Amino acid sequence: MSNEIEMHGKCLCGTVSVKAKVAEPEVATCHCNMCRKWTGGVMFVLDCNNQVAFTGEDSISIFNSSEWAERGFCSKCGTPLFYRLKETKQHFIPSALFDNETPLHFSHQLFIEEKPAFYAFANKTHNMTGAELFAQFSEEGQSD
């Protein structure tokens, strides 16, 4: 795609670097219990599909969080690096990992039914439940 934006970033200690291409600089949040436990709060991510390259891969640890997905983190500093779908290798990279050179747009919230009541975002976003998200992935898989 010619409209793709290349983004660069690294973990907290700098051991792992990432270069990724995004079609749209749209940020999603995930409010699911796993993402909140993993990050200590809401997870803000960019969908980087499978156009991702890492350096320092020896320091990436993988946690198999479900039958369909895994989470990668730096084994030196613990920085969350990605949520990745096993079948398609689609990467969702935390937006804070990237340098702040590209203006980002907060576009949607996932697992909205698991969002705790003690916070709310003022941004107008598209909100999806976990069931709606899984249905969307099922529909996309059937169109292949």
Cα–Cα distance for residue pair 6/51, rounded to 1 Å: 9
Residue 141's pLDDT is what?
55
Contact between 49 and 91 under an 8 Å Cβ cutoff? The reply is yes
**pLDDT tens string 91-130:** 999 999 999 778 899 999 999 999 999 999 999 999 999 9
CATH number attached to the domain at 5-142: 2.170.150.70
Q: Which of the four pLDDT bands, split at 50, 70 and 90, describes residue 86?
A: very high
Cα–Cα distance for residue pair 78/39, rounded to 1 Å: 10
HSE-CB for 126 with a 13 A CA cutoff: 8
Nearby residues of 70 by Cβ (< 8 Å), 6 or more positions away: 62, 63, 64, 83, 84, 86
Whether the model pTM is above 0.85: yes
**pLDDT tens string 47-61:** 999 999 999 999 999
Q: What is the mean pLDDT of the chain?
A: 92
Spans of all domains in the chain: 5-142
